Amino acid sequence: MKRIAILGSTGSIGRSSLKVIEQFPDRFQVVALAAGRNIDLLAKQIHRFRPQLAAVFDQQLAKDLLSRLETSIRVEVLAGPEGYHRVASCDDADMVLSAMVGAAGLVPTLSAIRAGKDVALANKETLVMAGALVMEEVRHHQVTLLPVDSEHNAIFQAMEGHRREDLKRILLTASGGPFLNMSAEELEQVTPAQALAHPNWDMGPKITIDSATLMNKGLEVIEAKWLFDVPVEKIDVHIHPQSIVHSMVEYVDGSVIAQMGIPDMRTPIAYALAYPERLQLDFPSLDLFALQTLTFFEPDFSRFPCLGLAFAACKAGGAVPAILNAANEVAVQAFLDNRIPFKRIAELVDQTMQEYKQVSAAELETILEADGWARQRTEEAIG
């Protein structure tokens, strides 16, 4: 029985993870759950899975959550950063699934690693912001870090049983999002509702917008650099609209190994939770006869400049990736709130990166200071 704590249980990844756990009650037990503000769903999850601990954003939400729970429920409800730390470092947890959205996931994920917990990582921002620091902590505490993102999980599988020194390059695939075939002029007119209509994946709003700008793929490039210890020059992005090939690895002898499957996040989640075993999921087999064609295209950096900005941030290093991420989070939220047009997201990220005076990112405090500066500066630019 593997005991699981989940950071971000009410988000898309958290909900999918609980579906997998529910399917295998003899394999997994939920011991702690953390969410943000969705206390209605969290209350239902607590009633269903009976964790020891639960955490929410603040004390008022904690009180509201307690009022929604039956008196027979025995759960300690916590709030704020200390609550997230307690969930992440829960004594009874064997593994922590890090699925909070955005920069908020960094500190709790570090808490899990420092507590000696194996981590199933779905929060890419953890490595985008503090890749060197996080991987050093992983080595120091001798924990296992398993990727949950479909692309990185695919790369992980494609590298299993192969020598790292034989790797030639990583081929990250991207669906291209809902605006793949739009002109630059058409992109200027898109609405949040259009951007949220992803053709293949059911994701939360922030990640869905990032997919539409290709920033999500840029963040995954930075994540891949740290996860697999490869220079960014060995990471390429391939647009693959069908989302069947989840990513590929090319070796020095010309062999290319791909991981394929239907686009459902429960597959990589299940692999990370049960690793090194595989769980029997109730999915239909991949029907290649019905698909007939798998297509791949080079990304258009001129129409989707966020991807280029992410590559630039990765090459710059230091705290620049944290600046990129923070500016993007603020800009995406402004777009969702109808405060800025779609095209302005990349412009704001670029502007904030240009204004930043680069410093080292060796310490967590420095990274968090850079994150705060970028958020304030981007908000000021939005006006």
Question: How many domains would you assign to the chain?
Answer: 3
What per-residue confidence (pLDDT) applies to 207?
Answer: 85
Domain that holds residue 321: 317-383
**pTM of this prediction?**
0.94
Distance CA 245, CA 261 (A): 7
Whole-number average pLDDT of the chain: 94
In this structure, are 134 and 163 located in the same domain?
no
Is residue 269 domain-resident? Answer: no
Give residue-wise pLDDT tens across range 86-108.
999 999 999 999 999 899 999 99
> What contacts 181, CB < 8 A, 6 or more positions away?
none
Distance CA 239, CA 261 (A): 16
Is residue 3 within 8 A of residue 96, CB to CB? The reply is no
In this structure, are 136 and 178 located in the same domain?
no
Distance CA 108, CA 112 (A): 6
In this structure, are 15 and 123 located in the same domain?
yes
**DSSP readout, 184-195?**
HHHHTT--HHHH
In this structure, are 52 and 179 located in the same domain?
no
Is residue 357 domain-resident? Answer: yes
Select from 118, 147, 176 the last residue of a domain.
147
In this structure, are 54 and 158 located in the same domain?
no
Give residue-wise pLDDT tens across range 9-68.
999 999 999 999 999 999 999 999 999 999 999 999 999 999 999 999 999 999 999 999
Is residue 45 domain-resident? Answer: yes
The residue written with tokens 């109808």 in the block is 338
Other Cβ atoms closer than 10 A to 68: 14
What per-residue confidence (pLDDT) applies to 196?
Answer: 81
Nearest residue to 28 (alpha-carbon basis) of 119, 117, 94, 109:
94
